[in-house]
Amino acid sequence: MSRKGSLVILTIILLLGSFLRVTVTVQEGSRFFLNSDDACYVNSGATLAQTGMLTYGDPGKPSAFLMPGYPFFLALIFKIAGSCNLLAVRLVQDFLSVVCIWLIFLLGKEMFSVGIGLLAAFITACYPPNILAPNLILTETLFSVFLYAFLFLVFRYFRLIRTPFLATGGIILSLATLVRPTAALLPGTVALIECLKRNWNKGLRAFLILQLAVVTALIPWWIRNYLHFDKFIPLTTNNGNPLLTGTYLNNSLWTPRGSAAQFWPKVPGDEAATDQALRNYAFQRIKANFRQDFWTYLNWYTIGKFKVLWWDHPFYWFSLARLPQQSVTLLHQILMICSLLGIATSLIKPGKNLPYILLILFTFLYFTLTHLVYVASSRYAFPLISLAFIFAAFFISLPFSKINN
């Protein structure tokens, strides 16, 4: 495929992705509000824009319950477009979602070929949850941009062995961590591949460069938290809640007496102490549950949560017009099967592509293991799904040698 031809096709895909996203936002965007985490983000962003204080719940009290990245993102938009202008937020996230399509193309191109990159980009552009997600006032779209950009820069580092790519990747990863704390230890995946590909010294060097960037970005956050709470808070005071939620089979908190969450321990006025109490209670439940029914809970913490993340339902919490949940779930599961087959076939003769393939697979493994410990939700696997589409595109393209070559 000629460079000009691929550029034309990519432009069409990006325009198609833009049209689908903006059309849904303009016509239906206002109904995609959960009045849950999104309401908390909106309130935090609005308060931050007005007062400069990062809060959660109580607008007059500082909080470390949320990482600052997404509230700052919302506050910036509210400053420019007007307080609580959710249409502006959704349109900006539409743009970021289109950037994700372009980055998936670049990743697919680096891993395999231009044709596979284009096919992966097309799937990413048309996948219904990707069209819906920018309309949700949640971290997924912003985090996805940072994650894909980080992976692409590491790809370039693998290919050219130039430190500036790795250092820039570290900066991008630090931004991702400020949006979602689960990204904080992702440098370990790059270090492991460098150890396998080159040697331990290069692996340690890569880890230190990336981790130093993350730590540098977190230092102002640590100082701010220490000044407000008089203690070291490495990431957030929201570790106990997802850990405890994950101890309930199928994430079901409902009991005959109502939500189990109403009986969870709390320390009024001290979110850090409440977080510690929730963690202690979570560990108590884990021990008790495994003693009571070991195999049931072993299944939940392995196969059960894995299925929730990757298989049972996509991150499609509202149905778009004429796209019912069942149809989108079926499409999602077909694409996941193609992705799995693509992973298997790509590993048969990976050649020089092996470091790139391993980086994506280790990224899958890293986030999957993280959420097997904590609460599992299709929302948390969402940024990984479009990466899986690269493997789906590889598998689909196998019968068509022209695309594959």
What DSSP assignment string belongs to 281-329?
Answer: HHHHHHHHHHHH-HHHHHHIIIIIHHHHHHTS--S--SPBTTB-HHHHH
What is the per-residue pLDDT for 261? 79
Tell me the whole-structure pTM to 2 decimals: 0.94
Binned at pLDDT 50, 70 and 90, residue 88 comes out as: very high
Mean pLDDT of the chain: 92
Predicted confidence (pLDDT) at residue 115 exceeds the cutoff of 60: yes
- The per-residue pLDDT for range 175-230, each reduced to its tens digit, is 999 999 999 999 999 999 999 888 888 889 999 999 999 999 999 999 999 999 88
3-state secondary structure of 61: strand
- The per-residue pLDDT for range 272-327, each reduced to its tens digit, is 899 999 999 999 999 999 999 999 999 999 999 999 999 999 999 898 888 899 99
- Radius of gyration for the alpha carbons in the chain, expressed in angstroms and rounded: 22
What is the per-residue pLDDT for 128? 96
List, in order, residues 6 or more apart from 275 with CB less than 8 Å away: 237, 238, 239, 240, 241
Amino acid identity for residue 124 in this structure? T
Predicted confidence (pLDDT) at residue 372 exceeds the cutoff of 90: yes
To 5 degrees, how large is the angle CA 107–CA 177–CA 283? 115
Choose among 219, 205, 137: nearest CA to 177.
219
Amino acid identity for residue 401 in this structure? S
What is the per-residue pLDDT for 322? 81
What is the per-residue pLDDT for 83? 85
